[in-house]
Amino acid sequence: MLVETGTLCRMVVGGTRDAVLAQLRRGTLEYCVLALLRDEERYGFELVKGLSRVEGMVTSEGTIYPLLSRLRRDGLVETTWRESTAGPPRRYYRLTATGKDALDWFAVEWIRFRDAVDLVLEKRIR
């Protein structure tokens, strides 16, 4: 949790602080998933663990699976089943060409957007 419990219900612009963070995550998490797949294919559990290591990125790990399922249906990732040395076969996710395009586009737009927000927050424009 990024905010203390006491401040959770305090209203900020457009909703509670929790809701604001949820909105931010909602828009960016799928690109973080794509980014993790940029250089190598990974299976679900591996992806989730990767994302969870980054503090504040994921609050409920389980929600990543419906997201992966949508990325697959949208053609941004493709999946293959591979045998595992320990236990049942695993579903591996790999970036498609469309997924790579989406990731490259977002990487540029994100920097532009982040810089714009920083500019305003740091009062470098009037």
C-alpha–C-alpha distance, residues 36 and 77, integer Å: 12
Nearest distance from C-beta of residue 96 to another protein, angstroms: 18
Q: What is the 3-state secondary structure (H, E, C) of 4-49?
A: CHHHCCCEECCEEHHHHHHHHHHHHHHHHHHHHCCCCCEEHHHHHH
Nearer to another protein, 22 or 111 (CB): 22
Nearest distance from C-beta of residue 78 to another protein, angstroms: 15
Q: Which positions touch another protein (CB under 8 A)?
A: 19, 22-23, 26, 44-45, 48, 52, 59-63, 65-70, 86-88, 90-91
Nearer to another protein, 90 or 103 (CB): 90
Nearest distance from C-beta of residue 70 to another protein, angstroms: 4
Nearer to another protein, 16 or 96 (CB): 16
Give the DSSP H/E element, type plus range, for residue 90. Answer: strand 90-95
Nearer to another protein, 10 or 112 (CB): 10
